[in-house]
Copies of this chain bind each other. A is one copy, B any other.
Amino acid sequence: MTLLLPDLELIKTIARPSPTKIVLLVIDGLGGLPHPQTGKTELETAHTPNLDRLAVEAICGLTNPVSPGVTPGSAPGHLALFGYNPLCFTSGRGVLEAIGVDFDLEQEDVAARGNFCTVDEAGLVADRRAGRISTEKCAELCQLLDGWTIENIKIFASPVREHRFIVVFRGEGLDPDISDSDPQQIGVAPRSIAAHTPQASRTASIAAQFVARAKATLAGRLPANMVLLRGFSRRQKFPSMGEIYKLKPAAIASYPMYRGLANLVGMEVLQAGTSFEDELATMKQSYADYDYFFMHRKGADSAGEDGDFDRKVKVIEEVDRALPSLMEVKPDVLVVTGDHSTPALLKAHSWHPVPVLLRSKWCRPDKVSQFSESACSSGGLGQLPATQIMLLAMANALKLIRFGA
């Protein structure tokens, strides 16, 4: 018999409720690569006196969200930090986005993430994001696609943000095991949607009919004259953080997908504005009501994906400036880390391990005095699977009883 650590069944047996509180601050895409001219990463370039002071008081290390060498998507990166092995717990993009915009997804629904995009006269994708149309425009276009019925399957279309939307298929006999139409590149035609198994062929056909009808409906509505769909999926039942960790967890995240993820693992998703100050204010107001807070900052990842080294530095500095305000609540355990690396030099998520600091009264501090990739690589946590961070946070909050006789 083999057991994968952390084993959620084991944790259930040793977790106990306690008054201590854990705050997990995720700086999305935190890890980076050194700038060729300075030899310093984004985090090392940023002026971060508050993070550095925390590093002195904390135990530091580097996490691997999935495995060394594996570049995680946002969902596995976060699930790992919540202690869910992302190789065992997967969730499609469609489901995550749908839950994130509070769409009331039913058990048998199949959801997909959509992009409004631009295709040229030859039908090739010219812009996968239709010039990042406004959320208002997106909502207007969704109304054109919403409420259709194809072969007794009811179809819903709802806006997410900018060019992003969701499509939900509802009815009997659906199967999400079908391929994306989004080719994830420009200059090529959208892919035809294919069933991966015979049972999914009807669903593939219905999705393809939806795409064809959307193309006809959007014709001439430049720049948003076509749709791309990906991540067809059905809601999977996850054991909740309440069940596993005996926690009452809250999520403070402004981006829909992260709210969706938090909802999937049973966190209460609090209403917050869009700035970090708004999120901090929400956390402080509700600090008495929960014992675990997941706080999410998106900007560093977006800057990294745009290849904007300097903007990523600035986002990190903004987070640093807000830290004294966060620390006013005096969390028993504070974890600061990222869900994955997004080096501006790669303009994409990457496999590089992610700096982490864990500060508590019982953390056994190491000699790391700067929060950076290079300093954390000699930290007391060593290099560890991100899935173990949650266990360490629980231990440091004295929320785990001992294992075995």
Q: Which residues of A contact B (CB under 8 A)?
A: 1-7, 10, 14, 33-34, 41, 62, 66-77, 85-88, 90-93, 96, 113, 231, 257, 343, 345-346, 348-352, 362, 364-367, 373-374, 377-378, 380-384, 388, 390-395, 400-405
30 of the cross-chain contacts (CB-CB < 8 Å) are A1-B88, A2-B2, A5-B67, A5-B87, A6-B69, A10-B70, A33-B362, A34-B364, A62-B382, A66-B404, A68-B381, A68-B388, A69-B392, A69-B393, A70-B403, A72-B402, A73-B402, A73-B403, A73-B404, A73-B405, A74-B405, A76-B403, A86-B404, A91-B405, A93-B405, A96-B405, A231-B405, A352-B364, A367-B374, A382-B383
Q: Which 7 A-B pairs have the closest CB atoms?
A: A69-B391, A93-B405, A73-B404, A76-B404, A71-B402, A69-B395, A382-B383
A231–B91 alpha-carbon span in the complex (Å): 40
Number of copies: 2
Q: Which residues of B contact A350 (CB under 8 A)?
A: 362, 395
User: Are B400 and A351 neighbours in the complex by a CB distance under 8 Å?
Assistant: yes
Q: How far is the CB of A393 from chain B (nearest CB, A)?
A: 8
**Is B2 a contact partner of A90 (Cβ separation < 8 A)?**
no
Known A-B contacts A373-B364, A377-B366; the reply to A391 vs B349 at CB < 8 A is: no
Interface of A is mostly: loop
A92 to B352, CA, bound (A): 36
CB distance from A357 to the nearest CB of B (A): 15
Q: Is B5 a contact partner of A394 (Cβ separation < 8 A)? A: no
A377 and B380 within 8 A (CB): yes
Tell which of B77, B362, B366 touches A374, judged by Cβ atoms closer than 8 Å.
B366
